[in-house]
Amino acid sequence: DGGITQSPKYLFRKEGQNVTLSCEQNLNHDAMYWYRQDPGQGLRLIYYSQIVNDFQKGDIAEGYSVSREKKESFPLTVTSAQKNPTAFYLCASSQEGARTEAFFGQGTRLTVV
């Protein structure tokens, strides 16, 4: 089946560690996105990529990094510089263009312990 796969579903991080969240899509979409979800704040855009080997910062990119070496993959690294990383992280993909909808993965819940 076509779709977006995020892994792991749950992730625990110690203070000072970097962790990487995986996102893979087989929808042949050009654009991919990472959103952060906190209670009562909706979804906020972290990074997005419209084409392989290119990506742009979203609204809350500080403390995060990404790569886009393959069309299907858009991993997100939460670095130790991110002061409050506990959140639900959602990856999405879409065709380019303002009238196209995005498809979302099941999310990764990251908790700092």
Smaller CB separation from another protein, 78 or 92 = 92
Q: For another protein, which residue of 1, 2, 15, 40 counts as binding (CB under 8 A)?
A: 40
Quote the CA–CA distance of 83 and 36 in Å, as a whole number.
14
Q: Say whether residue 11 binds another protein (CB under 8 A).
A: no
First to last CA, the chain: 35
Binding site for another protein (CB under 8 A): 4, 6, 31, 33, 40-43, 45, 48, 50, 58, 90, 92, 94-107
